[in-house]
Amino acid sequence: MSLLVVGLSHRSAPVSVLERATLNADAQIKLLQDTVAAEPAAEATLLATCNRIELYADVDKFHAGVAELSTLLAQHSGVGLDELTPHLYVHYEDRAVHHLFSVACGLDSMVVGEGQILGQIKDALATAQEMHTAGRLLNDLLQQSLRVGKRAHSETGIDRAGQSLVTFGLQQLSAGTAVDVWAKGKKALVIGAGSMSSLAAATLARAGVSEIVIANRTPDRAERLAQILNENEGGDTDVLARAVPMDSVPVELTRADIAISCTGATGLVLTAESVAAAVEGRTGGSVATAEPAAKPAVRRAGPARTASSAVVGDHAQLAPTSVGTDEDCPLDLSAVQGTAGFSVLGEAAVAGMAAAELEQHAAWVDKGDVAARAPRGAAVLDPEADADAIAALVLAVATVGRVPERRRPEPVAEAPRPAPVLALLDLAMPRDIDAAVHRLLGVRLVDIESLAEASADAPMAADVDQVRRIVSDEVAAFSAAQRAAHITPTVVALRTMAADLVASEIARLDGRLPDLDDKERGEITQTVRRVVDKLLHAPTVRVKQLAAEPGGAGYADALRTLFDLDPETVASVSRAENNNENAKNRGRA
């Protein structure tokens, strides 16, 4: 049997796929049960977090195992196998061990070095033990991964590089300001009362917020979390915490400065409409959706201005991009969409256009209703002047073949937005908060997707290299121990066979020498046993050493062949050891 992991994470799949592949608690249990019921797998465990879903199994066939685990992930997640497959990764044997140890140390986390993953691995192990889907291999593997993760955090400074996803999200919301300065005195709303929400509440309390409101579908859990926060009053935090039912969220949102949501809901908890209603009147005006196409005045590069620009003082206000609304325009709008200062009527649009295309564009402009496309409040554009300007450019084409590229305009200044009055952090997968909230004025939203983008550029601590060395050493030690353990049933079977031979020969001796007294019989028995033990000691010790080395798995087969051991005897020893291990694990669970 060999270790196999099939999974997807923020490193292999976009958030949209991860969001759809999320498994609720019932689906996770059913997936574990179906995995161990499948033919290639003997044991299984599932590591499911907000940014990864990984299925670990002990399989007897690699290709059959990959196919079966991939199919089960697709079936239980509801994402088609064809769509899921490009985002899946597969690790086998030592590479699978290396992957899990790296995950446990926080090296594979969205925020490198974060320690919350250790609690999630512990939960995965507890679930597998409770469901009796983890045997000796996975119990040893996950328990060792926890020890490796703790070693990495205690022996290195990886904590300086890492932080919880909550802390990283709050840093993104504070936009460069120290979190404790930014959060001090603010009112916070935490939606959910699970492990991530509890961490969020504790982090906010330490950051100095004045009030934390906990909303959860199960009131008891919200009350318990609020009580824990209140009991710490006068300690390292000084915060007022209270619990409310979920239907109070809209009201509490109108009072909150910060809201963090992490629930197991399958649909949206906060829609764009509910957030807009919560901040209505708090921004000093209407909470309208910000229009990205509406550009502020911008200084044009170069002295020339075309008639496609309405001049206002020393700046020229460009006509807005209207992709998808100007019919029959010969210009390939998609090719220039997003260009700074882009206008379907201006010279930026026609720079580099061939003569024939330019003439078609001139005719379209001449027939078009330019006034309808002008920005509100700007001077009405003159289609004839615009056509004349383009006609002049056509003449230049006769000489150079194409319209010369114009100098790139200065970057368009961002339209001023009011300072956010509500900061939202969505740590749920699938998302709790409507992504359309990004466009609301007075609101700042940070979610898993934006955290993934921000973390891609985050610097890594120098201690990461030291953690990688720890992982490599621990993988080698674990693999050696597993290979050595693999030969143990064969060694036990060999010693059992030797003991049976000794007992048989002593019994035969008793039949031939019935007059031996007990002292003499005991001395002969001890002598025979010592001879057998000494003969077996060196080869059994040496074979364990050899089996622990890479490629040492064949020594067990050689030992069975040389001593003609019954394969069923070896298998029975393995089953007995596994049963004892499972019994111990059930006791711990």
490-521: buried (b, 16+ CB within 10 Å) or exposed (e) per residue? bbbbbeebbeeebeeeeeeeeeeeeeeeeeee
CA 259 to chain centre: 22
CA 554 to chain centre: 38
Q: Which amino acid is at 399?
A: T
Q: Say if residue 120 carries a ligand binding annotation.
A: yes
Q: Say if residue 194 carries a ligand binding annotation.
A: yes
Q: Say if residue 442 carries a ligand binding annotation.
A: no
Contacts for 356 with CB less than 8 Å, ≥ 6 apart: none
CA separation for the pair 459, 465 (Å, rounded): 13
Return the beta strands (E) in 23-86 as ranges.
Answer: 41-49, 52-59
Q: Say if residue 80 carries a ligand binding annotation.
A: no
Q: Say if residue 177 carries a ligand binding annotation.
A: no
CA separation for the pair 166, 259 (Å, rounded): 12
Could you say which of 50, 105, 262, 329 is catalytic? 50
Q: Say if residue 197 carries a ligand binding annotation.
A: yes
Contact between residue 352 and residue 403 where contact means Cβ atoms under 8 Å apart: yes
Return the beta strands (E) in 518-561 as ranges.
Answer: none
Residue whose entry in the numeric block shows the structure tokens 């969220």: 249
CA separation for the pair 137, 337 (Å, rounded): 55
Q: Say if residue 49 carries a ligand binding annotation.
A: yes
Q: List the alpha helices (DSSP H) in 353-413.
A: 355-367, 370-373, 383-400
Packed helices 62-77 and 25-37: angle between N→C axes, nearest 10 degrees:
150
Question: What sign results for the dihedral spanned by CA atoms 460, 461, 462, 465?
Answer: negative
Look at residues 449, 475, 386, 411 and name the one whose alpha carbon lies nearest to residue 152: 475
Q: Say if residue 504 carries a ligand binding annotation.
A: no
Q: Say if residue 139 carries a ligand binding annotation.
A: no
Q: Say if residue 259 carries a ligand binding annotation.
A: no
CA separation for the pair 556, 490 (Å, rounded): 6
Q: Say if residue 196 carries a ligand binding annotation.
A: yes
Q: Say if residue 51 carries a ligand binding annotation.
A: yes
Q: Say if residue 114 carries a ligand binding annotation.
A: yes
CA separation for the pair 513, 364 (Å, rounded): 120
Q: Say if residue 115 carries a ligand binding annotation.
A: yes
Told to judge if 50 belongs to the known catalytic residues of this protein, a careful annotator would answer yes
Query: Which residues are part of a known binding site for substrate?
Result: 49-52, 109, 114-116, 120
The residues annotated as belonging to the active site are 50
Query: Which residues are part of a known binding site for NADP(+)?
Result: 192-197
Query: Which residues are part of a known binding site?
Result: 49-52, 109, 114-116, 120, 192-197
